[in-house]
Structure 1
Amino acid sequence: MIQSKSLGSKVFNAFNIILMSLLSLSCLYPLWYTLCLSVSDKAAANSGKVSFYPVGFSLASYQQIMGDTQFFRSFLISAERTIFGTIFTIVVLAIFAYPLSKSANEYHPKNVIMWIVIFCMLFNGGTIPWYITMVNYGMIDSMIGLILCGGLPVFNLILLINFYRSLPKELMEAAEIDGAGVWTVLFRIVVPCAIPIFATLILFTSVGYWNEYFQGLVLSSGEQHYPLQTYIKQMVVNIQTTNLSMDQIEKMDKLSNQSLDAAKVFIAMIPMLVVYPFLQKYFINGIMLGAVKE
């Protein structure tokens, strides 16, 4: 009996390892394929010969990107939006979630506010009323407009509320007995105890701001104001050869739209791939603690 259980456990573990390995490869392959396509030559990229490895290694796409000023302008717009948007969102979530984590007896408007928040998460007025509102508030071609569009993600708010509820009430009560006010309790007791969930929310929020493209398209009057993902979504390579030298024409002849697009997409992924490992250690604890409602 013991041997059969041991054999069954080994089979189960082997199955899990194989399954997790396949799932991991399915997640990694799109990244690897994008990299391979970006460093393949024009003929291989256009003919669809690139699959698991580069064909006809070429850095022409990356050399072209180095001279694309609009790409780097959009990159800086996205970086600014992600940094300031994440700071704004985390501050708003930290403050807004605290009273909503209290009971209805401690904070009387709690139920009404929660119903309003949930309603806004499930329903919206549509794109046209939203656009008219943004125009009336002067949010076109504005960094503030790009930030405010995602300023209060309700799902993240619910995670933070449930995390706040899981904290021992004795901590807050002891601080209040010592004379601490609401702001002191929040920023010196509650927030330091919530570092894991805040790391998780920072990851969610920064990835959301970095990858969002539709709002940048609607709220921008021209590509000079596009965030990076909007620019990549809208980019069309139009090569004008009339005013180019022979050397430039030879370089353009080696360039493929597909490999160029893949190179831009791969470069756009790098910041999030760099940031994620530093926050990953908090990710599991943060998402589990914030998801359990006591």
Structure 2
Amino acid sequence: MDNRSFSSKVRNIIIYAVVFLLGVMCLLPLWNIVAISFSSGAAVSANKVGLLPIDFTLAAYKKIIGDNQFWRSFGISVIRVFFGVLLNVSLCVLMAYPLTKTKREFKARNIYMNLLIFAMLFNGGMIPSFILVKNLGLLNSIWALILPGALPIFNVILVMNFFLGIPKSLEEAAVIDGSTPIQVLTKILVPCAKPSIATIALFSIVGNWNDFFAGLIYIQKVKNYPIMTYIQSLRVDMQELLRQSTSSAALGNAAELSNKNLNAAKIMVAIIPLLLIYPFLQKYLITGMVMGSVKE
């Protein structure tokens, strides 16, 4: 018993140490970005910045505050996330519910399921997607960023399997009491599936917020860029800054900026919403993933 207890303690110590080291390895790059955002452009260009800022400055953040396009793109991404999450969650729940029925209850179930699996494995590609969005008249609109990914099939399968894990007797009791399918879905299944719904909502938030490629494809005007597309397109033209600098103070400000520290500051500002939202949904993430991915 003593040996087993000692080996168990050693095993736990090793596990905690490995998890701690992995956490530090994930945190260090983010901390380096923070340090770069508060360092001068000269120090960043010389690769002197490690985990602590060098020649501490707020020049990059001051430029962000005065950048109207940054805040416009930030607002576009907020709107995109709001409508994207609302649409993703609604369609996933509405699609998953009928797929939990048997073939006797829903005759076309297997057909729809096969179509979903096929669409998840294969897609038309970038050019057909662009042509479709263009022909629908959605280019340069926020709907071009939302509608092409409105129904994530992986999320549908996740919610469907979670619904299948809910005791069938609950639904049968509600039907006996006179509930309609919509009432069964909204008053029984959805409240029971909160972990799964919170999980797909988190996936949708992160996906819609971090996506920059859709903006490059479907948005042709910089003023309509979402935040990540705008950040990806940012450049600091030092020659232009020096040309516009007419005083020693302006020259000093120009010397404090570089592509690296400006983009690092913009990245930090852009990820703040995700850092604020994640702690509230994290408790549902593991439960939703595990229970939604296993079907008895």
TM-score by length of 1: 0.96
Aligned to 2:6: 7
Matches within 5 A, 1:111-260: 111-239=110-238, 240-241=240-241, 242-246=243-247, 247-260=249-262
Offset, 1:255:
1.2
CA deviation vs aligned residue, 1:73-129 (integer Å, no higher than 9, x gap): 111111110111001110111111000011112111111101111111111111111
Distance 2:223 2:290 in 1: 41
Offset, 1:70:
1.0
Offset, 1:244:
4.4
TM-score by length of 2: 0.96
Conserved 8 A contact 2:35-2:52 = yes
Q: Letter of the aligned partner of 1:264 in structure 2?
A: K
Moved over 6 A (4+): none
Choose which of 263, 281, 284 in structure 2 pairs with 1:282.
Answer: 284
Aligned to 1:99: 98
Conserved 8 A contact 1:45-1:259 = yes
Unaligned ranges ≥5, structure 2:
none
Conserved 8 A contact 2:158-2:289 = yes
Conserved 8 A contact 1:150-1:209 = no
Conserved 8 A contact 2:40-2:255 = no
Unaligned ranges ≥5, structure 1:
none
SS class of match (1:75): helix
Offset, 1:243:
4.4
Conserved 8 A contact 1:223-1:231 = yes
- Describe the shift of the 1:33–1:243 C-alpha distance in structure 2 as closer, same or farther (beyond 3 A): closer
Q: Letter of the aligned partner of 1:16 in structure 2?
A: I
Aligned to 2:55: 56
CA deviation vs aligned residue, 1:200-230 (integer Å, no higher than 9, x gap): 1111110000001111110101211111111
SS class of match (1:152): coil
CA RMSD of aligned residues (A): 1.2
SS class of match (1:149): helix
Using the TM superposition, name which of 234-243 and 271-280 deviates more. 234-243
Offset, 1:3:
2.0
Offset, 1:280:
1.0
Offset, 1:157:
0.7
Conserved 8 A contact 2:140-2:218 = yes
Offset, 1:283:
1.3
Distance 2:29 2:269 in 1: 14
Aligned length: 293
Aligned to 1:271: 273
Offset, 1:282:
1.2
Q: Letter of the aligned partner of 1:170 in structure 2?
A: S
Conserved 8 A contact 2:199-2:288 = yes
